[in-house]
Structure 1
């Protein structure tokens, strides 16, 4: 059992780090990034911003929680000695960021003895920051989040994502083609963290994706779950790189079964 004061401290640290990294990414992005850049390519600039945001976050964590472990998208990986490990995605939605689309965010989660206990996702271009503490509900600012009221699968709006590998994308398109006739519609937002938060906020009935990393998933999954959504992977398995799924209770089981039958968990 994690002490309440430690939960509060971890939330405060995560919120500060996400806020400052989000501001760095928002204010540091060149206005013409999608069409021209001062470096060899726009991708180089995005990579630099990604690394700079992670460096800012890891600096804050090192200053305020020096004994904690860390797993970050840009290569940070240390075990720590406190029982706390941070799981950090400094820029989730990189392609959206490159093109000037607003759906990107900073995702920071804290695990205690292997269990995610705090999640924060900052979406600067939306002007929103989502957070959850294990057992304490999910929030956007001071507004408590709740997933949508239960509706049948044929009236469900579902989001998904596609990987970068061509063979994986082709199979993911086949899976989506199996799902779209039996749901209201499908969306592709481009940020796993924000898709999970949109399930929490009642903007989506469900979301699935294959190929997510722990830093894509950790904060958003906790936020979705604390808002009343169910989360998992294949039947009877947790969310993982094979398959991650979050949905309202009525949508979760039938969508999970359809995804499993469609082979959404393999390429």
Structure 2
């Protein structure tokens, strides 16, 4: 018997892919080559902010045209509850500092929630030439290639990803956690985009990823991609991922890492 939800999930997935593709092209093609030293605006940050807002307007406009009853939650202010039970969670430009400096690790992140559960996730990384996408229960892919987490290594051979917040006191605390953690693992990477880091766990490019201070739009799509590739995700022990702490790892690594992060106090400033 066909699940009546299947056509809906396919529709949401296809719309998210197209919206992310369009926004990614806008950001890639609209970025001035000399953005980091731009003089045409009061500051380069203004240019990034304008691109960020333009990308979110493109995404919400496209989705609202096709599904006018859906709700939105976006980093740049899009917020409406909708009436359909579907809510789009959007980060139009995850990795803004990378974008500002011309580094390639930035992405468009779009997730669809149905009655509060994430059912579709798309992370478009234009400068990588990759689109990561997942539908609940259907696995995760980069383009047409299925994604699968790397088998868990011994803890001291694990390659971790993380990120740092903008507030000085939080960054100091996060640096202290890294200082205590790095002798116990292979190494730690800091990519600059939570959405891409989560997808790198899905693709086997990282064994695990953790970060404090993420917003729903930072993690919604990437966390689904990671889970559908076989990763476990969560926050503090027994809790879901949240702004307090987000952890994603292959199953054999997830528990030990989560426990160590709890011990190190990675969940508080």
TM bucket (normalised to shorter chain) is: over 0.9
Q: Is the alpha carbon distance of 1:2 and 1:198 closer, same or farther for their aligned partners in structure 2, counting shifts above 3 Å?
A: farther
Tell me the CA shift for residue 36 of structure 1.
Answer: 2.1
2:236 alignment partner, SS class: coil
Alignment partner, residue 53 of structure 1: 55
Structure 1 unaligned spans of 5+: none
Superposition deviation, residue 124 in structure 1: 0.2
In the TM superposition, 1:114-263 aligns within 5 A as 114-263=116-265
Tell me if 1:86 matches 2:88: yes
Q: Cα offset for 1:250?
A: 1.3
Instruction: State the TM-score, normalizing by the size of structure 1.
Output: 0.99
Unpaired runs of 5+ in structure 2?
none
Assess if the C-alpha contact under 8 Å between 1:193 and 1:219 holds in 2: yes
Change (3 A) 1:45 1:2: farther
Aligned partner of 1:4 in structure 2 is 6
Q: List, as ranges, runs of 4+ consecutive aligned residues in structure 1 with deviation greater than 4 Å.
A: none
1:69-80 correspondence to structure 2 within 5 Å: 69-80=71-82
Give distance in 1, aligned partners of 2:182 and 2:244: 21
Q: Deviations over 1:40-74 (max 9, x none)?
A: 00000000000000000010011011000000000
* Mapped pair 1:16 → 2:18: yes
- Asked if the contact 1:37/1:45 (under 8 Å) is kept, the reply is no
Relative to the length of structure 2, the TM-score reads 0.98
3-state SS of paired residue (1:225): helix
Shift of 1:2: 6.8
| Structure-1 separation of matches of 2:96 and 2:250 | 27
- The equivalent residue for 2:109 is 107
> How far apart are the structure 2 equivalents of 1:66 and 1:88?
16
The 1-side partners of 2:235 and 2:47 are apart by 34
Quote the Cα distance in structure 2 between the aligned partners of 1:119 and 1:130. Answer: 8
Root-mean-square deviation (CA, aligned residues, Å) is 0.8
SS in 1 for 2:50: helix
Q: CA deviation at 1:152?
A: 1.4
Matching of residue 264 in structure 1 with residue 266 in structure 2: yes
Cα shift readout 1:76-101 (whole Å, capped 9, x = no counterpart):
11000000000000000000000000
Task: Count residues in correspondence.
Answer: 267
Helix, strand or coil: the match of 2:124? strand
Q: CA deviation at 1:228?
A: 0.4
Q: Determine helix, strand or coil for the equivalent of 2:27.
A: helix
> In the alignment, what sits opposite 1:96?
98
Q: Distance in 2 between matches of 1:37 and 1:119?
A: 37
